[in-house]
Structure 1
């Protein structure tokens, strides 16, 4: 599978890389890291990255603005998106060939070539694995930093159970390229005054149910009061995760026509709950969508049941 992907890369002069909307560090790290690898390894090729912008992560890199015509005859690679619905920029289907590279459960195996590894910590780690098995791809300081960002993001700074020996070995390959991890962490965890005050609000108002499940409900009026976007609120998903006895926690963030659901767990499987509410993800980190506050109460009940059964 990996050799087939490298062969497709070598066969196409134009390569356009997508990832999921509302990007996190792994989505951007794998997308931009792969793009930088290809730009440096195949300088004659035209490499583009497209998708929506996440202001808090713009320090990782910028997206390209390209016309529809660029897709003619192009190879399209989608990183870190389990389903077609989540892919940012629906022109991904306009290229000549389509490749999916992802580490989420393969609920929708779209594309001509599908490389999914649910054992990988992140899609960024998979890109490092691609480099390991290719003679034509070579890491640099820039690509290494981007892939490091993705691995750090999806392993919670190497604290989550998805951090395997292979993850640390591949991270070591990135560190050999003298990346400035201190500068990276300073940018990643930089928080302006409004977010600092907003975190104070979250810490004062989250609820713990049955001593096991942490719940934070954020109505859109509250986001407006603190001038915080739904995306920005995701930075605080783990703000109360260290509370003693907590097995799972959830953020409900009200948007214009739906309530975004962010689920996290220390052990109980939660992606099955997410799947019942138009979502999915990993066993311990998932996302879903609710359409009423009554539905959010149902999700909390399911979380409590999962924790009681664990």
Structure 2
């Protein structure tokens, strides 16, 4: 039986469904999570459907999360969207669910769940949720205007406004179907991509002093002191992640964002596969977009050296 049909059957079976996604959500994590919740509730308003996780303040315009008591989990179906491995699932209570489903488009490095649907060829998990809704012939799921907006936001976010190689003909076809629904695309784009003046000033500082290594790598260290100086939160630094993508000679780049107990790592690439490097440092992701965590600047230097090596091998081949 098609895995999508199996997932729909499970959604039909349960009265309580709790949807999770990864920590530090991006538009695709929220779009797939809340878009799926909208599709379930549109046809099943009596079901108890909740979305949980810590929110990035910059994305509150997309959705708000629910407060769910612990005891609801024991009879619940949990669906985890857009999360490749269990350590990155936001809210560990997912482990208390009666059954667990994984829906994700990252490479399958951690095959968890009673049911697991992983499609690395999909541009985004939001694209997968659209396909799930399309598959449904039992009228368990239905796309409405709000759900279409969320799925569209997720696809736009994970394809870089349809610029990344993950964008396929099918992606454009799905986007075309979604824009048939009623929502304000201009307002959505503005909210997704507008930045605070403090972020703009920090961008200027970073661009004024960046260096490209011989291997084509740019490294940017955002220390706690620098973030305080520019009045930028660690969450807001996600707006910087594409900063070096248009610069000639750059193959890959990494942002190290210092927090209290760790250093958050964001890695991007224009060719070399960087997810294996991320996997060595408590992370993972796509070949061209990954995240990781290190716990000292010495460990950050080790990660940078491995990224340099990866890009050098890519150049030599």
TM bucket normalised to smaller? over 0.9
> 2:115 — aligned with what?
113
- Give distance in 1, aligned partners of 2:228 and 2:188: 29
Deviations 1:162-185 (A, max 9, x none): 111111111111111133211101
- Give distance in 1, aligned partners of 2:207 and 2:40: 43
1:307 correspondence with 2:311? yes
> 1:74 — aligned with what?
76
Cα deviation for residue 189 of structure 1 reads 1.4
> 1:8 — aligned with what?
10
1:129 correspondence with 2:142? no
Query: Structure 1: which 5+ residue stretches go unaligned?
Result: none
1:291 correspondence with 2:286? no
Task: Find the partner of 1:234 among 221, 231, 238.
Answer: 238
Runs of 4 or more above 3 Å deviation: none
Q: What is the root-mean-square deviation of aligned Cα atoms in Å?
A: 1.3
> 1:140 — aligned with what?
144
Task: Find the partner of 1:56 among 52, 55, 58.
Answer: 58
- Give distance in 1, aligned partners of 2:242 and 2:47: 41
* TM-score (norm: length of structure 2): 0.94
1:271 correspondence with 2:280? no
8 Å CA contact 1:50–1:89 kept in 2: the answer is yes
- Give distance in 1, aligned partners of 2:226 and 2:68: 37
Aligned length: 310
Query: Structure 2: which 5+ residue stretches go unaligned?
Result: none
1:59 counterpart SS class: coil
1:161 correspondence with 2:165? yes
* TM-score (norm: length of structure 1): 0.97
Deviations 1:197-252 (A, max 9, x none): 22222222332212611111111111122222222111101122211111111111
Cα deviation for residue 292 of structure 1 reads 2.2
> 1:93 — aligned with what?
95
8 Å CA contact 2:244–2:250 kept in 1: the answer is no
- Give distance in 2, aligned partners of 1:98 and 1:290: 29
- Give distance in 2, aligned partners of 1:44 and 1:163: 36
> 1:207 — aligned with what?
211
- Give distance in 1, aligned partners of 2:74 and 2:293: 35
8 Å CA contact 1:275–1:288 kept in 2: the answer is yes
